[in-house]
Amino acid sequence: APAYENIKIDVVGAKKNVGLIQLHRPKALNALCKPLFVELGKAVNDFDADNNIAAIIITGNEKAFAAGADIKEMQNNTYSHNTKEGFLREWEDISNCGKPIIAAVNGFALGGGCELAMLCDIIYAGEKAKFGQPEINIGTIPGAGGTQRLPRYVGKSKAMEIVLTGNFIDAHEAEKMGLVSRVFPVDKLLEETIKLAERIGTHSPLIVKLAKQSVNQAYETSLRAGLQFEKSVFYGTFATVSVSI
Ligand code: CAA
């Protein structure tokens, strides 16, 4: 396995079919520096390409999922540097993954940390999780999807409140507003997330991939185009061997 410095990877689950990625920069609350994201992108791509892996989990530690983009790394960036380098471009590797990615969030998921969780397909949270988009406190705005994905999760008014105040919301509020699908005791979060990944892993990998693509269309296109996409995928599943009652 590749040697990583900012993440740890493992293969878990009774059938060893769940790829687990733990963000591991504990001293910086898992701030998402570029080297971390390069490693994360590689780990996600490798699990995506591995036929033994059914689903991927991204997690952090009890204190932090991730406290955002690395402020120390980016504080001297210029507009021209960001534009030339395509700052945060590595993040697209996560959204290009064909397999389900589940975020298991304990502790802080702030700024880019919240945005990383929202790039995943399902968010499970531990009771002490805290979500927020505090970029406004440091004179910028969310830059990895927060202004676009958060309203799709929670609606305009709540998203505006979160982005314009920088206030944090706790796990139960996040569940109520639809940002996370379930909340668990801190020490049960990872095992429950693995159970979810294993459950998904009992299904046809081809159908899982198509179902994920179809749900994602709801975020990316008009209702009419999304419905057309769904129908054509639905019809297409009848050409696979896995349609059965
Ligand atoms: N980037 C770099 N380092 C960070 C960091 C970040 N986003 N968040 C925390 N750290 C570092 C701190 O600098 C500190 O390092 P030192 O010990 O070397 O000083 C260490 O992690 C521990 O942090 P604190 O001492 O601050 O811990 P705390 O428990 O007192 O506070 C916190 C926790 C409320 C999360 C606080 O750390 C905080 O507010 N962090 C910044 C959150 C933030 O603003 N995130 C948005 C970043 S911008 C962004 O993400 C842009 C985008 O959309 C892509």
Q: Is 114 in the pocket of ligand 1 (CB under 6 A)?
A: no
What are the pLDDT digits (tens) for 124-133?
A: 999 999 999 9
Predicted structure pTM score = 0.96
pLDDT for 1 equals 66
Active site (catalytic) residues: 69, 112, 115, 135
Which residues, 6+ apart, have CB-to-CB distance to 33 below 8 Å? 6, 25, 70, 73
Mean pLDDT of 79-91: 94
**C-alpha–C-alpha distance, residues 129 and 108, integer Å:** 6
Q: How many angstroms separate the alpha carbon of residue 108 from the centre of ligand 1?
A: 9
pLDDT for 243 equals 54
Q: How many angstroms separate the alpha carbon of residue 44 from the centre of ligand 1?
A: 25
**C-alpha–C-alpha distance, residues 192 and 209, integer Å:** 22
Per-residue b or e along 3-15, where b marks 16 or more CB atoms closer than 10 Å to that residue's CB: ebebbebeebbee
Mean pLDDT of 198-218: 96
pLDDT for 23 equals 98
Substitution candidate for ligand 1 out of 71, 141, 150 with most atoms within 8 A of CB: 71
What are the pLDDT digits (tens) for 163-188?
A: 999 999 999 999 999 999 999 999 99
Q: How many angstroms separate the alpha carbon of residue 211 from the centre of ligand 1?
A: 36
Would you place residue 242 in the very low, low, confident or very high pLDDT band (cuts 50, 70, 90)? low
What are the pLDDT digits (tens) for 12-71?
A: 999 999 999 999 999 999 999 999 999 999 999 999 999 999 999 999 999 999 999 999
Nearest ligand 1 atom, CA 144: 54
Q: Are 97 and 48 in contact (CB under 8 A)?
A: yes
Angle ∠(162,163,167) on CA atoms, nearest 5: 45
Average pLDDT of the chain to the nearest whole number: 96
Give me 116's structure tokens. Answer: 């990383």
Would you place residue 2 in the very low, low, confident or very high pLDDT band (cuts 50, 70, 90)? confident
pLDDT value at 240 more than 90? no
Nearest ligand 1 atom, CA 108: 35
Which residues, 6+ apart, have CB-to-CB distance to 206 below 8 Å? 240, 242
Q: Where are the alpha helices (DSSP H) in 51-96?
A: 71-74, 79-85, 92-95
Would you place residue 93 in the very low, low, confident or very high pLDDT band (cuts 50, 70, 90)? confident
What are the pLDDT digits (tens) for 31-40?
A: 999 999 999 9
ipTM value of the model? Answer: 0.97
